[in-house]
Structures are given as C-alpha cells and as structure tokens.
Structure 1
Amino acid sequence: MSEIKINGLNYDWPSVSVTGPNGVFIDITEVNWKSSQKKKRIYGKGSVPIGVARGNYSATVDFTISKDEYRQFVESLGTSPFKAEFDLAIVFELDGQDRSETLIKQVLIDDVDDSAKQGEDAIVVKLSGTAQMIIKDGVPDYE
C-alpha cells in the first residue's frame, strides 16, 4: 500500500529541471513526451483473436522555449536544429528528496514553430520531434 500524503509536497513546475545541449533551460515553459507501441489483434477461424502482433516502438517530444533560449540552443548545436541529435534530461526533485529523472535519448527535431504577434507577453518557439528512446529512472520504456 502506498503512503498517503497529507499536506505534503507534490511535484510542480518549480521542482522540474530540463537540461539539453546548452545546459539547463531557464526560459522553458512546457515539455511533453510520449512513447507508444501499437498492437493489433490477429484473427484466424472464428471471431476470437488467436494472437497479437506488435508494431514498432516510437517516442516523441515537444517543448516550448523563449526566443532567446532558442538562439542559445541552436548555437550550442553548432548546426541547424534539423541536423543535430541531442538528449534531454527532465529531473523532478522536491527540496532534495524524491528525485526522479526522465532521459529522452537522441532527439531529432521535425518541426520548429516560430511566430510573434502584437500583444503577446513573451515570444516563444515550439519545437517537436522524435526520439530513439525514453528512459525513466534508468529503465527504458522498451527493450
């Protein structure tokens, strides 16, 4: 049985640290990651499945950073963001306790969504792409 927290701390945005090729992202406002492997039921005679076929594993990531952070990020890559492979580390840590890390390996950027409009509080760049593997606390999502 898990321990119930009463008036305890839960992970929140200040407990998250995201590190990329340019070091810790300071002006990051969002990061999302997803891994999946589709499965399909296989049928033979009759209407009951006789097995399962597994598709390929895939991992995706997207993150939103400030325009200045994007400039520093591209400089650290030394090339176009569409040509570089890099890792992202997302660490969740509450005041030195309960540390958890997600490592997103070999990210390849597919899309850079860059825009500006009057009245915006901050100009941001949204990046999205694929990854080779997502590893949570040292355990790969797929082996």
Structure 2
Amino acid sequence: MAWQGRCFRAGMMLALTRHGRAGANSTYELVLFQPKIPQYVNAAEPKSRRSEQETWIGELLEKLDDQFRVTRGWVGGKALAHVEKRSSRRVSPDSVEVSCEIIEELMIDVGTLPTNKTEFLDRGFQEMDRYSSS
C-alpha cells in the first residue's frame, strides 16, 4: 500500500536469496529488478517520479539491511522474454507490466534468475554500490 500511495504504477521485483554463511548467520543476495534505460526506454519511470521512488527504495533497503545480512546486491536488469508491444495495444508495457514478465519467468523456473556476476551483467544488472564493499 505504501508503494501504491507514493509511486503509482511503478513496478519492480525484489528477490532476496540466501547464498552463504558468515559464522552462525546466513548471508543474502538482493536482486532489485527495476525497468530502466537502456533496457526499457518506454517502461522507465518518468524523471518527475524518480527521486521519490529512489527515496522509497532507499528506505526499503535500510529495513532489509536491519533484518538480513545482505552482502551482494544487483539492480536494473531485463527479463529473458520481453514483449515490446502487443499488437492489440497502442502503447508499450509500463514498469508494472514489465516487472510481471520477470516475476512470471521466476515462477515458472527459478533457475532463470542469474547466479553469478557474468550472468547478472549479461542481463543488464548493475552491482549496487551499498553492497560492493561487503
């Protein structure tokens, strides 16, 4: 509800995956799929909302960091099978529709989520600065 109230029709996908241990604690990798330029020119959030969206995401990441030991993080990316524009529509998919593409891919086969740096980079993800020194 907070996302809907502050960033209407702003889609993203967040995946948190346990990838290791640090002593008695698990460590996690965060994947934040956000349709952005250059992969999604028409689905990228309008400039007028980017600042508010980035603030909201920053708050979300702070809460995640309070509960989980996130040691790697990726942002951006692209779905494996993106549909640019359906013939029955006059407009390209927005960020909510594009986010649904990657969610559907993961629901069908979780193995489509990249698992190493090369795969992430090939799929247009970027390392998140906040976790690069972890």
TM range (shorter): 0.3 to 0.5
Give the greater-gyration-radius structure (CA).
1
Q: Flag the structure with higher helix content.
A: 2
Please report the TM-score for the alignment, with normalisation by the length of structure 2.
0.35
Which structure has more RCO (C-alpha within 8 Å, separation ≥ 6)? 2
